[in-house]
Chain A
């Protein structure tokens, strides 16, 4: 992905996205007593044993590593909820609402708080499945776009990771469509975007076939 990165398609790497996701709040149950932390991003705590409190994921993971807390998996990470989402995702055309950073957060929790997630194998496979279904949906959706003439695209409930993957391609493709459809635009910007339409024209098909 980084190789594609240019001014138009600034994408994040997975690690960068994970870093961004670490600012999301999550509930932990500390097993130590600590005064509130006054951080730039906000005040967290006070921490009292056995009393749940909200902290950013990075803090939760840091405390968890030291064995100072247990992380409470968010509501959407339960087997029932995920099963529902997966079913709905398979049935419906639209994307189901999931947290913006669901891929990253679940990944972080799987890495650092395995013992705090009930039915971790089930949860993990469900999230993988949901991810696959959604990516597949994106792929088929894009195929439709390329068949018809589209200038704009509305993708509701797309998560960070998904948006990150489709962003460089979709924006450029749409731009190209637009340019191709308006003859004066082509003439105007001929010199500027001579190179882009070509790559974009070929690019999408190749990608879609891959999926």
Chain B
């Protein structure tokens, strides 16, 4: 048997003692979320099944460990029982606390919902089992009969019977309607008196015909539904008693976990084991995925995981032919609930025999109603990339408005569950609400806005990271309940969604310094809700629920109102630029979110960019913003950072992928980026966002393209190569823009030169590794990409040192060719323009390198001289003082050069190769800096050449 390992993640800290505890696990309806609880942890965690690194949501209302969990069959209501003697109900998936539905005098051990979700059974160390109406919380019945503490409860899926088991191993078979004992089977299950981490349990098969109970001989015994007679048992490789069992949704398979720390999957019909899995700890709870072949497990140390495809693909899927009547014990599972389920809560409904029929009709109805439903309605096995944590706006606002009718809304909204949700709007750098804790409304490279809820109002504080230069902003009390904020050097903007009739959505702007007092302003929006805010220099923008983009000036003047193409996802502002991300269409069932972005220039009222915003399939946008250089960047929930470049007609380059770092226990919460680094807060799993106190510290991560594993084995170099190329392109673009605008580009030129030098260094290293890896063609191609001729010379030296004379010859031919091209280019300039003296000096200085190449070639056949110049440290090559070794050669051969150049002059002058006339003034500017080093000037001219070279190269290639 193939041995697979299932990676378990820690969900619950296991108390101080490190002992075993009883943990529970549940799936939600779609298999998007996994709910876990542990008897040593008072909080329930809701994990994201697809993105385990996404921060789980905690539901903490119990004061002591949670021993039992149950999800109502319509998946809208979560019940939990705890050692603190209480049973609580929550809304699901929201997790809002609803009620303390009952209390016991001793700890709770087991919970179960009935088929329709109208009744909850709860029991524990007390003597009676309470049957509670979930509608009003009234106790319908108390079933007394057990001697020990009750550890397992199960409603019969046909709602006739009820079974319970206690820690002494006694199973009682109840008839629900009168609430009387049908059969008492004493001591049929293993007794687990002392061990609270292993509890007896039992489960009805999904069709209700069999009751499975762990047996005394390390087996599972099946009892008849009506007579409680022993029918057969599943016996196999468990060497210790079974402590948990779970039927697959179709009742064909069963998963059992034993105290011997293994899980066995059984084919129930053949009474045979199919597969098994060993674990390091006892698995205390399991749950089959409602749609699909997966089993969620949690061990007694509080670690959970998902066993993908426990049933081999050759066999029928565990979800095929799901019987109409379904429900099994702890794993309450249902697709459709009874139509009047929530309306009728009385016991008389329990014995409804026409259940199957009504379900069939309701299924038809469902299919008719929802078109998006098809994919899982027809092919359940097809796992959808469903969207987690994202709820439709509609539902979110509804659930806010009325909590009483929540359940009804859930039922109505169920149809939309089948397709991924459109991502809700968010503010970059905001963290979700955590009760009783300070949260970030905004955290960026500049500072942070935090908010802390006190009953009814909240305290908002604004801090700048740089305490010495940023203004000091007094804390403010917020009576509006702001949930969105944005911050820049000049001010901050706040907004709140509307809460009910009275509290309208408000937008407020607070400048940090103003000559006039009382210069803060606020706007109220009627019948409209602010979804996202942003601010830049002298403007404030807010996108609203009516898909309006409202732009205000910083003094509060309403400047523009634009209609957006779709619901807004986020807004970001930097200086004059405002980036808007909107939904372009509903989320695709296969691919997730469909987003598009626009970049608007607020000052000139123009649109500078527009396009689709790509995301990793199945992910959603986590962060969006400008880099320090003003480039757009996006970060999605799968941990891929993308940067917008204007190459290839404007595309997004993935420049970072957290999966490449191979640190699964770390989540990255992006704050910003610059050209080479990503600024983020590293959060240890399960947290995906930082706490506001203590102030999170930024970590710098290198940008790295998700490169394919190359045969070269020099991924760092290749990464640098692409990155430098990208930067160079951007800088050249900027130079062109600035030059076109007639601005001084000297400083950018310097920057471009350093990048160019870095790129050449990187290419030289790549050439070295290519030569070592015997990839000579690639090396030759790389040489052509070198921008400075002295780096080409370096490359020639390098390959001669590596004893590759063949390659050296090729390289020198390349060098010669480019010298020729350059000479032509420079003579053209010569012919067209009268140069100032210093520039001419440059020019002359440049030229001797032509004969140098010929000397190099001449020398080449003489290996001793070559090898006498040993392989330089590679970095040095690019940084050699320009023409250091060439002076003598240059001067002696200058005459000849002049001649050769002049010979070409005639040809060149006729050839109008004047590509960038706007760059010429730049070269005039250069001598104006008297402090510029001479070598610097030389560098500039070589930059020019290289730019030209790049141009010709690129035009030549593409």
B-side interface mostly = loop
B697 at the interface (CB under 8 A from A): yes
B695 at the interface (CB under 8 A from A): yes
Chain B residue contacts of A68, Cβ below 8 A: 468
Chain B residue contacts of A67, Cβ below 8 A: 467
Contact of B695 among A32, A33, A50, A51 (CB under 8 A): A50
Q: Who on chain A is nearest to B681 by CB?
A: A50
Instruction: Take A50-B695, A51-B679 as given contacts and tell me if A33 and B469 are in contact as well, using a CB distance cutoff of 8 Å.
Output: yes
Beta-carbon contact of B465 and A52 below 8 Å: no
Beta-carbon contact of A31 and B468 below 8 Å: yes
A97 at the interface (CB under 8 A from B): no
Chain A residue contacts of B464, Cβ below 8 A: 49
Chain A residue contacts of B352, Cβ below 8 A: none
Q: Who on chain A is nearest to B443 by CB?
A: A50
Chain A residue contacts of B468, Cβ below 8 A: 31-32, 68
Beta-carbon contact of A31 and B679 below 8 Å: no
> Residue-by-residue, is B453-495 near A (CB-CB < 8 Å gives 1, otherwise 0)?
0000000000011111100000000000000000000000000
Beta-carbon contact of A33 and B697 below 8 Å: no
Beta-carbon contact of A51 and B466 below 8 Å: no
Chain A positions 4-53 with a Cβ under 8 Å from a chain B Cβ: 29, 31-33, 49-52
A72 to B699, CA, bound (A): 14
Beta-carbon contact of A31 and B466 below 8 Å: yes
> Residue-by-residue, is A81-96 near B (CB-CB < 8 Å gives 1, otherwise 0)?
0000000000000000
Beta-carbon contact of A33 and B698 below 8 Å: no
B859 at the interface (CB under 8 A from A): no
Chain B residue contacts of A52, Cβ below 8 A: 697-699
Beta-carbon contact of A51 and B697 below 8 Å: yes
Q: How far is the CB of A184 from chain B (nearest CB, A)?
A: 56
A49 to B446, CA, bound (A): 8
Residues of B in contact, count (CB < 8 Å): 13
B700 at the interface (CB under 8 A from A): yes
Q: Which of B464, B466, B467, B699 has the most CB of A within 10 A?
A: B466
> Residue-by-residue, is B679-722 near A (CB-CB < 8 Å gives 1, otherwise 0)?
10000000000000001111110000000000000000000000
> Residue-by-residue, is A51-93 near B (CB-CB < 8 Å gives 1, otherwise 0)?
1100000000000000110001000000000000000000000
Chain A residue contacts of B697, Cβ below 8 A: 29, 50-52, 72
A29 to B695, CA, bound (A): 11
A31 to B464, CA, bound (A): 9
Instruction: Take A50-B695, A51-B679 as given contacts and tell me if A33 and B466 are in contact as well, using a CB distance cutoff of 8 Å.
Output: yes
Beta-carbon contact of B467 and A51 below 8 Å: no
Q: How far is the CB of A14 from chain B (nearest CB, A)?
A: 32
> Residue-by-residue, is B166-199 near A (CB-CB < 8 Å gives 1, otherwise 0)?
0000000000000000000000000000000000
A29 to B700, CA, bound (A): 13
Q: How far is the CB of A28 from chain B (nearest CB, A)?
A: 10
Chain A positions 101-126 with a Cβ under 8 Å from a chain B Cβ: none
Q: Which of A49, A50, A52, A72 has the most CB of B within 10 A?
A: A50
Q: How far is the CB of B449 from chain A (nearest CB, A)?
A: 14
Beta-carbon contact of B467 and A50 below 8 Å: no
Beta-carbon contact of A51 and B469 below 8 Å: no
Q: Which of A29, A31, A52, A68 has the most CB of B within 10 A?
A: A31
Q: Who on chain A is nearest to B446 by CB?
A: A49
Instruction: Take A50-B695, A51-B698 as given contacts and tell me if A32 and B466 are in contact as well, using a CB distance cutoff of 8 Å.
Output: yes
Beta-carbon contact of B698 and A50 below 8 Å: yes
Chain A residue contacts of B700, Cβ below 8 A: 51
Q: How far is the CB of B467 from chain A (nearest CB, A)?
A: 4
A123 to B466, CA, bound (A): 29
> Residue-by-residue, is B10-40 near A (CB-CB < 8 Å gives 1, otherwise 0)?
0000000000000000000000000000000
Q: Which of B679, B696, B697 has the most CB of A within 10 A?
A: B697
Chain B residue contacts of A51, Cβ below 8 A: 679, 697-700
A32 to B470, CA, bound (A): 10
A49 to B464, CA, bound (A): 9
Chain B residue contacts of A50, Cβ below 8 A: 465, 695-698
A52 to B466, CA, bound (A): 13
Q: Who on chain B is nearest to A116 by CB?
A: B694
A144 to B464, CA, bound (A): 59
Beta-carbon contact of B679 and A49 below 8 Å: no
Q: How far is the CB of A188 from chain B (nearest CB, A)?
A: 54
Q: Who on chain B is nearest to A50 by CB?
A: B465
Chain B residue contacts of A31, Cβ below 8 A: 465-468
Q: Who on chain B is nearest to A51 by CB?
A: B698
Q: How far is the CB of B45 from chain A (nearest CB, A)?
A: 23
> Residue-by-residue, is B417-431 near A (CB-CB < 8 Å gives 1, otherwise 0)?
000000000000000
Q: Who on chain B is nearest to A53 by CB?
A: B700
Q: How far is the CB of B675 from chain A (nearest CB, A)?
A: 14
A67 to B467, CA, bound (A): 9
Chain A residue contacts of B465, Cβ below 8 A: 31, 49-50
Q: How far is the CB of A35 from chain B (nearest CB, A)?
A: 14
Q: How far is the CB of A98 from chain B (nearest CB, A)?
A: 25
Beta-carbon contact of B467 and A32 below 8 Å: yes
A151 to B209, CA, bound (A): 84
Q: How far is the CB of A36 from chain B (nearest CB, A)?
A: 14
Chain A residue contacts of B467, Cβ below 8 A: 31-32, 49, 67
Q: How far is the CB of B18 from chain A (nearest CB, A)?
A: 14
Q: Who on chain B is nearest to A27 by CB?
A: B697
Q: How far is the CB of B11 from chain A (nearest CB, A)?
A: 21
Q: How far is the CB of B153 from chain A (nearest CB, A)?
A: 41
Q: How far is the CB of A197 from chain B (nearest CB, A)?
A: 56
Q: Who on chain B is nearest to A32 by CB?
A: B468
A162 to B679, CA, bound (A): 42
Chain B residue contacts of A29, Cβ below 8 A: 697
Q: How far is the CB of B690 from chain A (nearest CB, A)?
A: 11
A32 to B469, CA, bound (A): 8
Chain A residue contacts of B696, Cβ below 8 A: 50
Chain B positions 623-644 with a Cβ under 8 Å from a chain A Cβ: none
A51 to B695, CA, bound (A): 11
Q: How far is the CB of B436 from chain A (nearest CB, A)?
A: 20
Chain A residue contacts of B695, Cβ below 8 A: 50
A68 to B468, CA, bound (A): 8
> Residue-by-residue, is B305-347 near A (CB-CB < 8 Å gives 1, otherwise 0)?
0000000000000000000000000000000000000000000
Chain A residue contacts of B698, Cβ below 8 A: 50-52
Q: Who on chain A is nearest to B464 by CB?
A: A49
Q: Who on chain A is nearest to B467 by CB?
A: A31
A163 to B913, CA, bound (A): 76
Q: How far is the CB of A75 from chain B (nearest CB, A)?
A: 14
A23 to B827, CA, bound (A): 58
Q: Who on chain A is nearest to B470 by CB?
A: A49
A31 to B695, CA, bound (A): 12
Q: Who on chain A is nearest to B671 by CB?
A: A50
A52 to B681, CA, bound (A): 11
A29 to B681, CA, bound (A): 13
A67 to B697, CA, bound (A): 17
A72 to B679, CA, bound (A): 19
Q: How far is the CB of B701 from chain A (nearest CB, A)?
A: 12
Chain A residue contacts of B679, Cβ below 8 A: 51
Q: How far is the CB of A118 from chain B (nearest CB, A)?
A: 9
A120 to B464, CA, bound (A): 27
A32 to B467, CA, bound (A): 6
Chain A residue contacts of B699, Cβ below 8 A: 51-52
A52 to B680, CA, bound (A): 12
A5 to B204, CA, bound (A): 85
Chain B positions 73-128 with a Cβ under 8 Å from a chain A Cβ: none
Q: How far is the CB of A169 from chain B (nearest CB, A)?
A: 43
A80 to B170, CA, bound (A): 45
Q: How far is the CB of A73 from chain B (nearest CB, A)?
A: 12
Q: How far is the CB of B703 from chain A (nearest CB, A)?
A: 16
A87 to B679, CA, bound (A): 39
Known interface pairs A49-B466, A50-B696, A51-B679; 4 further A-B residue pairs with C-beta atoms within 8 A, sorted by A's residue number: A31-B465, A49-B464, A51-B699, A52-B698
8 cross-chain CB contacts under 8 A: A29-B697, A31-B466, A31-B467, A32-B466, A32-B467, A49-B464, A50-B696, A51-B700
Interface pairs A-B: 4 shortest CB-CB: A49-B465, A50-B465, A49-B466, A31-B467
